[in-house]
Structure 1
Amino acid sequence: MKRKRNNGLGNLRVYAAAGIFALALFMPVLLCGCKDTSDEDALLLSFDEETHVQMSCTEKEETMQDVGQSEETQQVYVYVCGAVNCPGVYQAQAGVRLFELIEMAGGFMPEADRSHLNLARTVADGEQIVVLTREEIAQGMTAVSENSAARTGADNGLVNINTASVSELTGVSGIGESRAQAIIDYREKNGAFKSVEEIKKVDGIKDGLFAKIKDYITV
């Protein structure tokens, strides 16, 4: 009887030792599994917030660039009429060529006379382009841009060197066809004259000729 009790006590000790050994073996695993991840979560949150801020700034910069580009793009409005299929006021980007506006207006009508137009020239804001027919050209009419008063200075008897045609410029004493064409070529290349004195930059127009014509021209 005493021997059986001793055997039971020995088995109990063996079981207790095995339990302690198992607990010691698995304790590090339990501790690692319960590790506090608050620092990692905070780090990830901080990274996400920083990335969001950087992306927002980039998007704002791109938006501002787009706005700036759209503001820099200037528009012009031109009235195209006469012998075109769809006369009207057309909007285009600054620097538009006359042939592009003619295309926007539906192209020339069959009776249109193209020879009196410089289709390669740039068109200014507010111009009126009148496309004449061959019959009108034969009758001595001249193409105009804008109304006659604005283009030729008819209100005050002066010729507007920024808008006048070759025939209108040759109406000024001292300006022949070659000088008139030189004036038109200059303004198409360099833009509108800012003053009447600037006409002296045109080839063939010196101080002597300018003194003769200055009282008959305007800008």
Structure 2
Amino acid sequence: MKKKEIVISVIIAFILSLIMIFVTQVKGSGNMIVDKNSKNKILKTQNAENSQDEQLEKSIREDEKKQVAVKESTDKTEEKQGQNSEIAVYISGEVKTPQVVRMKIGDRLVDAVEKCGGMTKEADLNAVNLALLLKDEAHYIIPKIGDTNVEPADSSAYTSTTGENEANQSNSNNSNSSSPKVNINTADKVALMSLPSIGEKTAQKIIDYRENVGKFNTKEDLKNVSGIGDKKYSKLEDLITVD
């Protein structure tokens, strides 16, 4: 009887052990499933967050590109407007630094003179209208006190269409009767530029001709200089001499 009870007890204990093992495995399997589901949810959440971050970064990059494009467009527009509002004039004569200066539309002669360092002590202030509006490509000569060979820098004496100084016909006639003739064999650049239709470039060509070819034997030899034809010579004939 005792043996039978012992056997039954062993069987019951064995069965209980199996049940406990089974329950433990089922519970562990359930936990694994839960863990997998949790991991999947976490991964999905992370992927969603990463996707949002990527979209945000992409949006930021696109905004930055747009801002750069707008800035470049604005800079180009401002640069173009700045170029359109600029003019260039040549200031020579009795200024401390004769030069070509860039000015703004609406600037006056006094502004350009200041950019050249101001006038020298020998400048004839009474012969200059410092209130003149500047013209693009114009050449303004600040005369010296007592210098009658240089036309004053005023709007009637200079134009900016060709880049060379052109005295009007009335000034030419007046200078013919009251001013001494310019000797084209000895005159310097400033004196040559006082003649009608003679600008800096043409004056330099006359000087180069004298140095390379020789002196002018007759007044008509001046037509041998490039840029001086019959029409221009007719304005100069009575104002020049070779003696």
User: Post-superposition shift, 1:147?
Assistant: 5.2
Q: Which one of the candidate residues 129, 141, 166 is aligned to 1:130?
A: 141
- 2:163 is equivalent to residue 152 of structure 1: no
- 2:23 is equivalent to residue 14 of structure 1: no
- 2:83 is equivalent to residue 77 of structure 1: no
Within a 5 Å distance, the mapping from 1:1-219 to structure 2 comes to: 2=7, 3-25=9-31, 27-35=33-41, 36=44, 41-73=50-82, 74=84, 75-136=86-147, 142-144=151-153, 150-154=165-169
Unaligned ranges ≥5, structure 1: 160-166, 169-219
State the partner residue of 2:204: none
AA partner of residue 115 (structure 2): M
Q: 3-state DSSP class of the match of 1:17?
A: helix
Q: 3-state DSSP class of the match of 2:12?
A: helix
Structure-2 separation of matches of 1:144 and 1:120: 11
User: Post-superposition shift, 1:129?
Assistant: 1.4
Q: Which stretch shows the higher mean deviation, 39-48 or 74-83?
A: 39-48
Structure-2 separation of matches of 1:158 and 1:23: 115
The structure-2 alpha-carbon separation of the partners of 1:112 and 1:150, relative to structure 1 and needing over 3 Å to count, comes to: closer
Pairs aligned (count): 157
State the partner residue of 2:213: none
State the partner residue of 1:188: none
Mapped contact 2:140–2:158 kept (Cα < 8 A): no
AA partner of residue 52 (structure 1): R
User: Post-superposition shift, 1:132?
Assistant: 1.8
Mapped contact 2:89–2:138 kept (Cα < 8 A): yes
User: Post-superposition shift, 1:115?
Assistant: 4.1
What percent of counterpart residues are identical? 15
**TM-score normalised over the length of structure 2:** 0.51
Q: 3-state DSSP class of the match of 2:122?
A: coil
Structure-1 separation of matches of 2:131 and 2:10: 121
Mapped contact 1:80–1:105 kept (Cα < 8 A): yes
Q: 3-state DSSP class of the match of 2:125?
A: coil
Larger radius of gyration: 2
**TM-score normalised over the length of structure 1:** 0.55
User: Post-superposition shift, 1:88?
Assistant: 1.7
AA partner of residue 153 (structure 1): N
Mapped contact 1:112–1:133 kept (Cα < 8 A): yes
Mapped contact 1:96–1:123 kept (Cα < 8 A): yes
AA partner of residue 87 (structure 2): V
Structure-2 separation of matches of 1:94 and 1:143: 22
State the partner residue of 1:185: none
Mapped contact 2:87–2:105 kept (Cα < 8 A): yes
